[in-house]
A and B are shown apart, each in its own frame.
Chain A
Amino acid sequence: MSRTRRAVIVGASIAGLTTAEVLREEGFDGEIVIVGEEAQLPYTRPPLSKQILLGEWEPEDARIRTRAELDGLGIQLLTGVSAAGLDVAGRTIHTSVGPIAYDDLIIATGTRPRTHPLLPHSPSLRTIDDAILLRAQLRLARRVAVIGSGILGSEIASASRKHGAETVIVGRSGTLSFGGVGSLLSDRLAHLHKVNDVELALHADVISASPSSGGTELVLRGSAERSFDLVVVMIGGTPCTEWLAGSGLDIADGVACDDVGVAAPGVSAVGDVAAWHDPSTGRGVRTEHQSNAIEQAIAVASRIARNGEIERPVPLFWSEIHGTQIKAVGWFDQRRQLVDTSVDPTTDRSILCARAQDGTLRGAVAWNAPPREFQSARAEIITSARTAIQPIPKEDRR
């Protein structure tokens, strides 16, 4: 008599939850166990740095599944349980509540914010608890420094201005970046911040930081000491893979996987922590946004449940900065400028196109643009990108 097949998912955020839901949807009839480190029911992250920091949503609005709904789907969620080790050959994980055997393991442990060596205790933003704390701090703050010039840095600066604080973004690359678009939108973003009274210090490494009565004294390269009552550090994420040390998995930068998300026999990885092999570049790449986590989760769950076909996720991410809606889809070559295709350049509504040498549309950015124009660009990008990925023999995957 064989026991019921069991899928164990480590990580209870969007990648882990979507994997569980789609496994069920695709007919997986074994046990599904999600191991979650936070004491929280699953929630979605994009609103944390947008609606919740701005005060438009309450934290509860970001939650996406109730305990009753998970029970109804036959998904067992263990909250407050952390993974501590993996035995690939023995198909077992070790956790803070003891070993759990699996037939299929899906790693979805995400990332944690990278800390700044000079500002090890400054707040950052990853979890719903981080967002609740940061919102309270932003409501009180009068002078805010955001260390980090990526999307999250821009969003936090936007929320800081909305709450009325003097705000500076500190970066050292000289540019503002926007996820996979890289620095191609830097000039537009810089203009947007300037008209909203955000100061930009983009060649200004933090030289020293010391606590003061009202907050933190910062010395930035090339300027005098300045006082801030809130310093937020948003300088990227580190994959949560410490628990996989010694497992034999390649965890040099996230969990290295093949091009369908397999890391080892019986082990897959999805979401921010997963470095899927990219057939077009031959390298492993981690992609850190929600729609990628969702598409990888659907692909892996379909493969496990019914050996379903894998479609290559097409990056899609968005932001709202000082009320400007910015959406991006596809891939962006940093050596090639975006081309503004807007009919009326006097308005602030643009579709910006990234084309390959041969003219193929590879990426597009909608800057306050009508959604239908963005969607037709997106459809064109998906059509040209979705070349079938060669399936690998089934016995190699399990």
Chain B
Amino acid sequence: MPIEVKAGACVGAGQCALVAPNTFDQDEDGIVVLLQHDPQGIDLKSAIRATQLCPARALAVSAR
């Protein structure tokens, strides 16, 4: 399921990169960078947890 990032909402907490490092990284300003748009299996599971944990609710897994 595709991951969506809401521009301007990210506060650089870094929670996503800790929980789902195969899907999310951060740039020099700490802002989220998407490494893969459509994670599968265990990567998807941790990406979903990252969307829930994001303190700014800046990530979403879109329902196709």
Contact = CB atoms under 8 A, between A and B. Distances in A.
Contacts, number: 61
Contact of A372 (B11, B30, B48): B30
Contacts of A370: 28-30
Nearest to A64: B57
B56 A25 contact: no
Q: Which bracket fits the contact residues of A?
A: 20 to 34
Contact of B26 (A44, A72, A295, A371): A371
A45 B31 CA distance: 20
A316 B13 contact: yes
B57 A44 contact: yes
A56 interface: yes
B30 A294 contact: no
Nearest to A292: B55
B49 to A, nearest CB: 7
A327 B11 CA distance: 9
A51 interface: yes
A294 B48 contact: no
A291 B55 contact: yes
Interface residues of B, number: 21
Given A68-B63, A318-B11, A378-B14, A371 B29 contact: yes
A69 B30 CA distance: 29
B56 A46 contact: yes
Nearest to A44: B57
Interface in B16-64: 26, 28-31, 48-49, 52-53, 55-57, 60, 63
Given A25-B49, A46-B56, 17 more contacts: A14-B57, A21-B52, A25-B48, A47-B9, A56-B8, A57-B8, A61-B6, A72-B63, A291-B55, A294-B52, A294-B55, A318-B11, A325-B11, A370-B28, A370-B30, A372-B26, A378-B14
19 contacts: A21-B52, A22-B52, A25-B48, A25-B49, A51-B9, A61-B6, A68-B63, A69-B63, A72-B63, A290-B56, A294-B52, A298-B52, A316-B55, A325-B11, A327-B11, A371-B29, A372-B26, A372-B30, A378-B13
